[in-house]
Amino acid sequence: MAKASIRTAQPTDLPGIRFADPLLRADPERMQTVRASIESGQCIVAVDGEDILGYAVLSYRLFDQGVVPLLVVSMANRRCGIGTSLLKEIEKRCGQPQLCVPTTRSNMAAQWMLEKCGYAAGGSIAETAADEDEELVFNKKLPSRA
């Protein structure tokens, strides 16, 4: 199991993020989302030394609510707490009272992690993914930051 620390992503992290998330190479829109989130300080990475183990993006583009459009852990580092650590850090950084995390119906590992972290399924969006896999939206009310 890798020992990860979480920090704000820097432009120099992009090659490591691309290695952790091979879909970035094939999806220009996904790459633009990651680049823009790095530039705005809304992307975090889990690192072990120089290695990027995973990353997460926080967005406020949907009705000014906190949304995590991307949370990716490299294949070699899944199921060892990296995703949970990234999600907990995003929760700390979120400036809204609720956080939404979409995932596909077929991604049972993500659903299990979200439920374990206190998220509840809040609805679905049919036929949004390229493979027409139904998108589920998980929500969590965050502690007051007053």
CATH number at residue 36: 3.40.630.30
| 36 assigned to some structural domain | yes
Do the Cβ atoms of 17 and 9 come closer than 8 Å? yes
| 70 assigned to some structural domain | yes
Do the Cβ atoms of 117 and 84 come closer than 8 Å? yes
Structure tokens at 15: 């090659």
pLDDT at 129: 47
Counted domains in the chain: 1
Question: CA–CA separation, 143 vs 133, rounded Å?
Answer: 32
pLDDT in tens, 59-96: 997 677 899 999 999 999 999 999 999 999 999 999 99
pLDDT at 1: 47
Range of the domain at 40: 5-141
